[in-house]
A and B are shown apart, each in its own frame.
Chain A
Amino acid sequence: MTDEARQPILEEAVRLALGGEGVTISDAKKLAGGAMHESWGVKATARGAESDLVVRLSPAGRADPEKMNREYTVLKAMHERGVRAPKPFAMGSADTGEVYMVMERAEGDTNPRKFITSPEYETARKQFIEDLARSLAIIHEVRPVELPGIDLRSPAEDEDPAEFERQRLITDYHHLKLNPHPAVVWALRWVGREIEKLERTGRPILVVHGDLRVGNLMYDENGLSAILDWEGVHAGEPEEDLAWLCTRVWRFGQNDLEAGGITDRETWVQAYERASGATIDRNRLRVWEVLRNIHWAVVCMMQARAHTDSQQRSHELAAIGRRAGDTELEILRLTGVAERFANAG
């Protein structure tokens, strides 16, 4: 889709967001584009005032209004509660079939490698962890019933969210695998045994962001500027978000700093405990780290399958299939298996 061809729909979206006539846009720039959606940065002028906006747009045929509505509703609720997230203005759909959402353009950068490795962000990284813990604590206060009109994937109220996730992964694994993975099958069994040993938390089912990793977090020299990409939002328990940030694949090589390559796991969890007043059971957290790694292994299988099933032929997707192994090795580290057999030959 050429930039010019998108112009009318971007204008329509911005008019809806800012209200009425006298709205013009300029400098439309594609920020990111994938099969599922595009993000456009635009400069909007309404009644003499200028603002920088982002239009998220799902192409016709791929558009899922229900999903966009879920993202919009959650983002709006979270922004109002004080979570650092872009303020959403409006969502709508075009006669031509596209669905879109308009939000403010947060200031900052999203290149995770730059943030994690560059010395100029050393102070920002410390503040970032505190900011993130505070925003996450606010997200995790919200119960799904407080977000009416949207359907969130959710465990039953009396179900252990970790077991719910385990069952989901068993189904997805069997559905998506291209070949048998004994390590994954064993790990799912290990998780089941560990869950039985855990104490139940007594918490209600809560909203989780669902894709909390440094690549979805915008930063500047002061710390966290915005939590982005709320597509994965669902209901569960806080440990899921805490653990996903710690997943090895999101450390960008800084493997000693488990929390996103920024700080160690314990510093991160303690920042969250201070911000939320909650106590995190470290054993439960470890179960979630294994679950999140299994999730990533299954995502690798899914990506490779998109290629082998010819949904989207791509050597890049094919290559991702070979990344499941790294994740299996990490699972064997987290469960203590690697330590036992690493030097046994």
Chain B
Amino acid sequence: MQDRPDARELLEALEEFMRERSESSQDRFDRFQFLVAANSLSILQRELQMDDDFIRDEWTGLDALLGAEEPPVRILDRAARLRERNGDLCDRIENGEFDGQGEDQLLRHIYTTVFNKVRIANPREAV
């Protein structure tokens, strides 16, 4: 186990630094670049905090749409497999497999995953 500060705390420290630089810089370009950097670091903090639950929900949603499968144990493997499963989902949508009756379940899943994604990436828009 790593010592503290943990990942979230380190990111928070970096974000504070970027935000402070953004506010104090005299240069318009720098102010904007530091602000974007601070915002990216706050995305990462929310991702660390919430994405574990969201990924679990997304996996379960895909189980219902594509057929159940056990998630890989390692986080990186799980992310790679999740991407593949979303690729499968897209292929099936394009093939018309969810047209008609199956569409409701598909859209419920899509809405939830998009909303959760926005809660991390841009919470102001998650309305």
Binding site for B on A (CB under 8 A): 179-183, 185-186, 189, 315-316, 318-319, 322-323, 325-326, 328-329, 332, 337-338, 340-342, 344
The 9 A-B pairs of least Cβ separation, nearest first, read A180-B86, A322-B121, A341-B111, A325-B117, A326-B125, A180-B87, A185-B90, A180-B90, A325-B118
A189 to B103, CA, bound (A): 12
Total interface residues on B, CB under 8 Å, equals: 31
A182 to B111, CA, bound (A): 10
B37 x A182 contact (CB < 8 A): no
Q: Which of chain A's residues has its CB closest to B112's CB?
A: A341
A179 x B86 contact (CB < 8 A): yes
A322 to B36, CA, bound (A): 12
Answer whether residue B106 sits at the interface, using C-beta atoms and an 8 A cutoff. yes
A332 x B40 contact (CB < 8 A): no
A315 x B36 contact (CB < 8 A): yes
Which residues of chain A are near B86, meaning CB under 8 Å? 179-180, 182
B82-126 CB contacts (< 8 Å) to partner A = 83, 86-87, 89-90, 93-94, 96, 98-99, 106-108, 110-115, 117-118, 121-122, 125-126
Answer whether residue B43 sits at the interface, using C-beta atoms and an 8 A cutoff. yes
25 contacts across the A-B interface (CB closer than 8 A): A179-B86, A180-B87, A181-B90, A182-B89, A182-B106, A183-B114, A185-B93, A186-B98, A315-B33, A315-B36, A316-B36, A318-B40, A319-B43, A325-B117, A325-B121, A328-B118, A329-B115, A329-B125, A332-B107, A332-B114, A337-B110, A337-B111, A340-B107, A341-B108, A341-B111
Answer whether residue B39 sits at the interface, using C-beta atoms and an 8 A cutoff. yes
How far in angstroms is the closest Cβ of chain B from A41?
Answer: 17
A323 to B114, CA, bound (A): 11
How far in angstroms is the closest Cβ of chain B from A254?
Answer: 13
Q: Which of chain A's residues has its CB closest to B32's CB?
A: A316
